[in-house]
């Protein structure tokens, strides 16, 4: 090769190098330049999105300008295959580099799913089925009753429903083990499963957390004395199987139903939980209050009146019926439980726990 050609080639390579360096400098400058976004917005990047789709969505959201330069930056930086799907909350004037860093780390927007205490598994499944940002089918068969922890959970958009259920099951097992480790001595409960069953009764009997340990004490005291629990929510579960709401008050005929869940006719705890209890109910079941109450009935204010003797209890039942009758047969409940509330008892059986 002649000297002239070598010089020409060297000059060409120098120009290319300078041009490439200039282009890379322009890319770097672009990446660190505040973007056009004027306020906060959320951008959804579906699974399987490529460079073109990601760029289009960011442009439509007003988060970037010069999409051609953004595409070049994405490919030259090698991030085009490392960005994660999901929803991203972008703030005003974010630079392209900040957006790419967020998407590479997968700092997706998390959405809340709140499952109230006291729902049955069937009711939790119905709730999860209606959550619009979840995907996939619910696992079948459903978990056993009582095995989903009611709580507020955070999940990204498009999270599979089976993952949500799995997390709720794991959370319940952990919460139950934690509560069981704190159980009081001489508790008339042989296993964590029995504590779970008792907690479900507590959860359905009252919506006031401060009453949980007292309601637990009533049931524990009755178990110790060999008395039947006579809990209205267990009869409701016997009638509905936890699939639907009863939609009416219990009758005396209901209390005679032949079912292992009818604690008016069967001794001890029902065979399974009747709902999904929360952490406070679990703790109350294993650490009941130090009181000698054996009875309770609604007091007309959203709480309950507790009694040590049957005579005292019967007097309070009559008082409750007067309150109920004054409001046309409907129970005033100033402190309602969110969703799937247990019916307020009317003291149908005066020798019951309620």
Band the pLDDT of 199: cuts 50, 70, 90: very high
pLDDT at position 249: 87
Question: Residue 215: which pLDDT band, with cuts at 50, 70 and 90?
Answer: very high
* Per-residue model confidence (pLDDT) at position 26: 65
Same structural domain, 89 and 131:
no
Q: How many residues does the chain have?
A: 354
Which of 172, 205, 223 delimits the end of a domain? 172
Residues 89 and 149 in one domain: no
> In this predicted model, what pLDDT tens digit does every residue of 85-129 receive, in sequence order?
899 999 999 998 899 999 999 899 999 999 999 999 999 999 999
Domain that holds residue 133: 110-172
pLDDT band, very low/low/confident/very high, at 349 (cuts 50, 70, 90): very low
- Same domain membership, residue 196 and residue 255: yes
CATH code where residue 104 lies: 3.30.1490.480
User: What are the structure tokens assigned to 275, written together?
Assistant: 């709902």
Of 93, 108, 123, the position where a domain reaches its end is 108
Please report which confidence band the pLDDT of residue 76 belongs to, taking 50, 70 and 90 as the band edges: confident
Do 80 and 121 lie in a common domain?
no
In a domain, 70, yes or no: yes
Is residue 252 in a domain?
A: yes
Q: Are residues 218 and 132 in the same domain?
A: no
Q: Which of 19-23, 34-38, 122-126, 155-159 has the lowest mean pLDDT?
A: 19-23
φ/ψ (deg, to 5) at 35: -80, 180
Domain-located, residue 334: no
**Averaged pLDDT for residues 1-17:** 44
In a domain, 117, yes or no: yes
Q: How far is CA 74 from the centre of its chain?
A: 38
| Angle (nearest 5°) at CA 160 between 99 and 156 | 30
Q: Do 101 and 122 have their domain in common?
A: no
pLDDT tens-digit readout, 40-61: 999 999 988 888 999 999 999 9
pLDDT value for 319: 84
More confident residue, 8 or 90: 90
**Amino acid 184: pLDDT:** 95
Give the tokens for residue 23. Answer: 């282009």
What is the reported pLDDT for 193?
A: 98
Residue pLDDT, tens place only, 269-280: 999 999 999 999
205 and 318 in a common domain: yes
Closest CA to 228 of 325, 132, 349: 349
Same domain, 150 and 268: no
pLDDT at 7 over 50: no
> How many percent of the chain have pLDDT more than 90?
61
Q: What percentage of the chain has pLDDT greater than the value 70?
A: 84
Span 161-185, average pLDDT? 97
- Is position 214 within any domain? yes
pLDDT digits (tens, 9 = 90+) for 221-248: 999 999 999 999 999 999 999 998 888 8
The answer on 257 and 312 residing in a single domain is yes
Are residues 302 and 197 part of one domain? Answer: yes
Provide the pLDDT for residue 23: 55
Among 53, 87, 108, identify where a domain stops: 108
Q: Does the residue 246 lie in any domain?
A: yes
pLDDT value, residue 204: 95
The whole-number pLDDT of residue 270 equals 97
Q: Residue 345: inside a domain, yes or no?
A: no
Give the model's confidence band at 176: pLDDT under 50 very low, under 70 low, under 90 confident, else very high.
very high
Average pLDDT, the chain: 85
Work out how many domains the chain is built from and give that number. Answer: 3
- Determine the pLDDT at residue 209: 93
Whether 256 and 167 map to the same domain: the answer is: no
> Mean pLDDT across the stretch 22-31?
67
Question: Mean of the pLDDT values across residues 172-180?
Answer: 98
- 218 belongs to a structural domain: yes
H-type alpha helices, the chain: 3-31, 51-60, 67-76, 96-105, 121-129, 161-180, 192-205, 212-225, 232-240, 279-286, 310-326
Region of poorest pLDDT, from 132-141, 162-171, 338-347: 338-347
| 103, 218: one domain | no
Q: What is the tens place of the pLDDT at every residue in 291-341?
A: 999 999 888 778 899 999 999 998 988 888 887 777 655 544 333 333 332
SS3 235: helix
User: From CA 236, how far away is CA 214, in angstroms rounded?
Assistant: 22
């Amino acid at each position: 090769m002649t000297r002239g050609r070598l010089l020409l080639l060297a000059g060409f390579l120098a120009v290319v190098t300078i041009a490439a360096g200039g282009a890379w400098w322009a890319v770097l400058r672009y990446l660190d330049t505040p973007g056009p976004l004027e306020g906060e917005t959320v951008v959804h990047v579906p699974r399987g999105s490529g460079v073109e789709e990601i760029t289009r969505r960011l442009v439509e959201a007003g988060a970037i300008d010069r999409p051609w330069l953004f595409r070049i930056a994405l490919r030259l930086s090698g991030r085009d295959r490392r960005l994660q799907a999901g929803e991203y909350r972008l703030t005003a004037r974010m630079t392209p580099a900040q957006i790419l860093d967020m998407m590479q780390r997968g700092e997706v927007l998390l959405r809340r799913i709140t499952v109230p205490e006291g729902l049955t598994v069937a009711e939790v499944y119905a709730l999860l089925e209606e959550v619009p940002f979840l995907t996939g089918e619910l696992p079948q068969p459903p978990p056993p009753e009582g095995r989903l922890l009611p709580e507020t959970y955070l999940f990204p958009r498009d999270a599979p429903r089976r993952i949500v259920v799995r997390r709720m099951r794991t959370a319940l097992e952990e919460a139950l083990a934690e509560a069981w480790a704190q159980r009081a001595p001489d508790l008339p409960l042989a296993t964590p499963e029995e504590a779970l069953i008792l907690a479900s009764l507590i959860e359905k009997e009252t919506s006031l957390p401060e009453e949980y340990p007292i309601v637990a004490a009533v049931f524990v005291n009755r178990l110790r004395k060999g008395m039947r629990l006579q809990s209205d929510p267990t009869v409701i579960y016997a009638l509905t199987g936890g699939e639907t709401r009863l939609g009416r008050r219990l009758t005396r005929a209901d209390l005679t139903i032949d079912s292992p869940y009818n604690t008016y006719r069967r001794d001890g705890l029902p065979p399974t939980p009747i709902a999904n209890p929360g952490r406070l109910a679990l703790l109350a079941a294993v650490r009941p209050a130090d009181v000698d109450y054996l009875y309770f009935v609604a007091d007309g204010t959203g709480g309950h009146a507790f009694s040590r003797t049957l005579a005292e209890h019967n007097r309070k039942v009559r008082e409750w019926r007067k309150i109920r009758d004054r409001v046309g047969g409907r129970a005033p409940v100033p402190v309602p439980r969110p969703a799937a509330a247990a019916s307020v008892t009317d003291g149908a059986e005066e020798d019951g726990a309620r």
